[in-house]
Chains A and B, each alone.
Chain A
Amino acid sequence: MTLLLTLAILILTGVAFWQISKIFELSQMGRKKDDSQIATEKDNDLNGKLMFAFLVFIYAVTIYSFWSYSKVLLPESASAHGPAYDTLLWISFAIILFAQTITQAVLHVFAYKYRGINNRKAYFYTHNNTLEFVWTIIPAIIFFVLIIYGMVTWGNIMNIEEDEDALVIELYAQQWNWKARYGGEDNVLGDANVRFLNDFDGRNSVGIDSSDPNGMDDIVVTQEFHLPVDRKVIFKFRSQDVLHSAYMPHFRAQMNCVPGMITEFSFTPTITTADMRMNSDVVDKVNRINKIRYENSKELTANGEEALEPYQFDYLLLCAKICGASHYNMQMKIVVESEKDYEKWLSQQKTFSEIIQ
């Protein structure tokens, strides 16, 4: 019934539109009118001016967005390589904004300035090799600098040296949750494969090979995982079913989790969760969020539902690769803390050998 009504309304609106345009056409009949549907001098004038207005609009949107939305951006990076990432990002942004401002201005100002006038002849200008050369070579130089800069940074970030001191953690993805595995006492991850997932009545939640002695002291955690501050972490990623992507935006870190393959990424966390909660940008953001949650809660409680809990900042591990129905809710909390707190937390977790006993 609703469908019929909607269709009827759509059809009637169409008919009404058609009739109105007919009336409009009829009302124009008596007058002498240009109906060639080709732009006249008047059209050129109006649209040329609108082109200029549109330039102002683009600038206004840009300024408004930066002014109003830059507060939602990620806070300062919490990893050792993060500042290099952020610097490269803002340098690229500066170049982009400069190029954007200039080229849009020239484009729209020309569109405005040279809007057509009857009986004016355009300037016959076919090519200029010097100009072509100049605007080939200038972007080329800029891009080469960016390429070299980017490559060096990329090399530094992706060069994962297996140094002794680094903590090795496996992030294990499945539809739709994360698990983290620590190497335990020996800091070595035992061999693992999905074949072993059904061993021990499903208690072997990431498929550790129980014949590998390295695996017996491994520790598997869910919901949250902890990292000691200022110590390099080498992440090994696995997935048991489909592609996932381990995305840790506050650390400027992301790597896909691929079934049948172990992928790697490494970073050194530099700011503890407690310190990050004191960061002024984070404080502002949390306050804003809690204000929104408070407003939303009013509505909920009025409907007899439970109010939203106040929000407290935590580092996040999210999934960034489409992976099915609950892709949007595949999360794990990351806690960065002092080495001492980390050791304490880790000692409270059960090892693999304890779990399978």
Chain B
Amino acid sequence: MSELTSISHSNHDDHHHHKETFITKYIFSQDHKMIAKQYLILGVLFMGFIGVAMSLLFRLQLAWPEQSFAVFDIFLGDWAPEGVMDPNIYLALVTIHGTIMVFFVLTAGLSGTFSNLLIPLQIGARDMASGLLNMISFWLFFLSSMIMLASLFVEAGPAAAGWTIYPPLSALPQTQPGSGMGMTLWLISMAIFVASSLLGSLNYIVTVINLRTKGMSMFRLPLTIWAFFVTAIIGVISFPVLLSAALLLIMDRSFGTSFFLSDIFVQGEVLHYQGGSPVLFEHLFWFLGHPEVYIVLLPALGITSEIIATNSRKPIFGYRAMVASILAIAFLSTVVWGHHMFISGMNPFLGSVFTFTTLLIAIPSAVKAFNYITTLWKGNLQFNPGMLFSIGLVSTFITGGLTGIILGDSTLDINIHDTYFVVAHFHLVMGISALYGLFAGVYHWFPKLFGTMMNKNLGYIHFWITAISAYGVFFPMHFIGMAGLPRRYYTNTAFPYFDDLANINVVITVFALLAGAAQLVFLYNFIHSMFFGKKAEQNPWRSNTMEWTAPVEHIHGNWPGEIPHVHRWAYDYSKPGQDEDFVLQTTPIQKGEIETEH
């Protein structure tokens, strides 16, 4: 890269002269690139594997209810007497699957990996504002993960009140075995998780505001950074509310307070709780819970914006509209939580208000989708695996997002609330879409993370099987929801009315198993490429952003010598008058060239 060679080497930074031991380099590392890899391996690969495997177990039960499976016998032991899954452990699996996928994989794993890797590298910083806080953030996440996993080994089973842990079910151990020690560990794990998330988010915010290199104005930031930045802000606003809900619930459980409980009679006994309300918990939970959807989704959309532009060899269409819609989504996401509570007993007038704000959020979402599509128009699309997953994201984001129009409408919510229609909707719009963003990011930045390339053909196989099975799983699921089947049922055989849904459940499970198998291809590709992959060149995708000006080998401080300066926005792809179809952000505006107005 001409920019790099032109940089004076006389001005060496002393960052990379530290002497490192194995422990400071690989374990208690304060380097953002190493922390990103730690999040990727623990949060995405390890926790992701567990979360997905759990879903396959309960999908087996749903397709072939109350049958004996050897895998149940192996993994569930006493919870599956003679290989038949127990109803309590079914609920526990559903709960922990949700918790792991939403929080551990798609919040910590996704943001933790890509915010850490890309924020310093794309804004031109030596590292995060505080390497120490960053390290503490990861190790709190590690601790939180281990406590969550430890809860799987509690005798009475892990938390089983659903990932939303509504009291009184979650508050009273008398109501289900999973609300004993398992629930205590869940709450402790999540409290630590929130601390980890806050430290991470504060670091991201401070870094983006303070450490941009010379010339990197806010409107020259790549959209990835905008997405990570805004995500961190929503996280800082909403996660503390979850912490408060968790703490109040711990008080109700262990210290006899009545924040969420009142007038309760369990197992022949009137309990002393008076005056609290579970609806209060629902408000607190969803004040985090809904922004959480966007905490999961925005980074994926940011990653997609970057990858679609690079691989279309075109500027992202409507850069400012994209930034505006990220900000609009972020703002609206904090005022829509009530759409989870239309029929909770909340005042129906509030239902109208939340319907209004909820459907408003569809507008910036639609703008984003149209901008992605227009970016493809007259492009020269390079179908690298990351690009396939990015287009896949736009597709599932549309399919899943559109049914939000139904669920966000308080009237229509009445009859499909807590049915499989909801499960289908949110898995497509936030689960699958965010996972696609995650995969796209891994394929695209693998060379930056590990200095090697992932195998593209395995990537293609991974994408196409996943894409087909994602629709195969979630499209039919809308119909069983509209048939009136509530979610979180251990089996549907208690109602002969649902007997004709049994074959649809088999179809769904077969596609789910297929999807699970496709992820093994990814896992193999990841691990194999990490050790034996082809060495990456410095800028394999011919991208504009700054991370590709840093050397392939990771060094402390990211750039040898001075940090390059930025002279243009991130999307000068195929700019007329240029020799190449990309221009690095660090390339000065040439004589006679006009800076792109965007």
Interface residues of A (CB under 8 A from B): 2-3, 6, 14, 17-18, 21, 35-39, 43-44, 46-48, 50-51, 54, 57-58, 61-62, 65, 69-70, 72-74, 85, 88-89, 92-93, 95-96, 99-100, 103-104, 106-108, 110-111, 114-117, 120-128, 131-132, 135-136, 139-140, 143, 146-147, 150-151, 153-155, 157-159, 174-175, 193-195, 197-198, 202, 207, 240-243, 245, 247, 249-250, 252-256, 258-261, 263, 265, 285, 288-289, 292-293, 308, 311, 313-314, 316, 318-329, 331
Contacts and interface: CB of A to CB of B under 8 A. Distances in A.
Given A72-B480, A322-B91, A154 B377 contact: no
Contacts of B369: 103
Nearest to A241: B266
13 contacts: A65-B475, A85-B412, A106-B373, A107-B395, A110-B373, A151-B410, A175-B266, A240-B265, A241-B264, A245-B417, A285-B500, A325-B176, A326-B87
Contacts of B454: 37
B510 to A, nearest CB: 14
A285 B496 CA distance: 11
Given A104-B395, A116-B313, 19 more contacts: A18-B524, A39-B456, A43-B383, A54-B464, A72-B501, A89-B412, A115-B381, A123-B378, A126-B317, A131-B318, A146-B409, A150-B411, A193-B263, A202-B268, A240-B264, A258-B278, A288-B500, A311-B496, A320-B419
B87 A44 contact: no
B524 A324 contact: no
A138 to B, nearest CB: 9
A103 B395 CA distance: 9
A324 B170 CA distance: 10
Interface stretch (B45-53, B127-135, B400-408): B400-408
Q: Which A-B residue pairs are the 8 nearest by beta carbons?
A: A260-B262, A249-B484, A37-B453, A123-B378, A47-B383, A158-B348, A328-B489, A329-B494
Contacts of A39: 382-384, 387, 456
A292 B534 CA distance: 55
Interface string B572-598: 011110000100000000000000111
A73 B479 contact: yes
A132 B264 CA distance: 54
Contact of B483 (A73, A240, A323): A73
B429 to A, nearest CB: 13
B414 A147 contact: no
A259 B263 contact: yes
B398 A103 contact: yes
Nearest to A17: B524
Interface of B: 70, 73-74, 87-88, 91, 160-162, 166-169, 172, 175-176, 261-266, 268, 270, 275-279, 312-315, 317-321, 343-345, 348, 351-352, 355-356, 359-360, 362-363, 366-367, 369-374, 376-384, 387-388, 391, 394-395, 398-399, 402-403, 405-406, 409-412, 414-415, 417-419, 453-456, 460, 464, 467-468, 471-472, 475-476, 478-480, 482-484, 486-492, 494-497, 499-502, 504, 524, 528, 533-534, 540-541, 571, 573-576, 581, 596-598
B373 A103 contact: yes
B479 A72 contact: yes
B175 A241 contact: yes
Contacts of A207: 265
A154 B352 contact: yes
B500 A311 contact: no
Contacts of A21: 528
Nearest to A289: B499
A165 B556 CA distance: 79
A58 B576 CA distance: 37
B598 A126 contact: yes
A243 B504 contact: no
Interface of A, secondary structure class, is helix
A242 B178 CA distance: 14
A258 B260 CA distance: 11
B262 A259 contact: yes
Contacts of A35: 534
Contacts of B540: 36-38
B314 A123 contact: yes
A183 B495 CA distance: 29
A321 B417 CA distance: 9
Contact of B456 (A38, A254, A292): A38
A128 to B, nearest CB: 7
A99 B495 CA distance: 36
A72 B483 contact: yes
Contacts of A325: 87-88, 91, 176, 490
B414 A85 contact: yes
Contacts of B312: 114, 122
Contact of A88 (B403, B412, B501, B504): B412
Contact of A6 (B74, B320, B374, B480): B74
Contacts of A292: 499-500, 502
A74 B482 CA distance: 7
A329 B395 CA distance: 37
Nearest to B523: A14
B412 A110 contact: no
Contacts of A65: 475-476, 478-479
Contact of A157 (B70, B411, B467, B524): B411
Contacts of A241: 168, 172, 175, 264-266
B500 A37 contact: no
B270 A328 contact: no
A293 B409 contact: no
B265 to A, nearest CB: 4
A67 B464 CA distance: 25
B184 to A, nearest CB: 18
Contacts of B576: 124
A86 to B, nearest CB: 9
A151 B348 CA distance: 10
B415 A258 contact: no
Given A48-B383, A243-B278, A70 B395 contact: no
A123 B490 CA distance: 54
A6 B495 CA distance: 36
Contact of A153 (B373, B411, B460): B411
Contact of B70 (A2, A70, A74): A2
A333 to B, nearest CB: 11
A242 B383 contact: no
Contact of B488 (A18, A89, A252, A327): A327
Nearest to B394: A107
Contact of B321 (A120, A132, A146, A155): A132
B571 A100 contact: no
A62 to B, nearest CB: 7
B358 to A, nearest CB: 9
A293 B496 CA distance: 8
B352 A151 contact: yes
B270 A247 contact: no
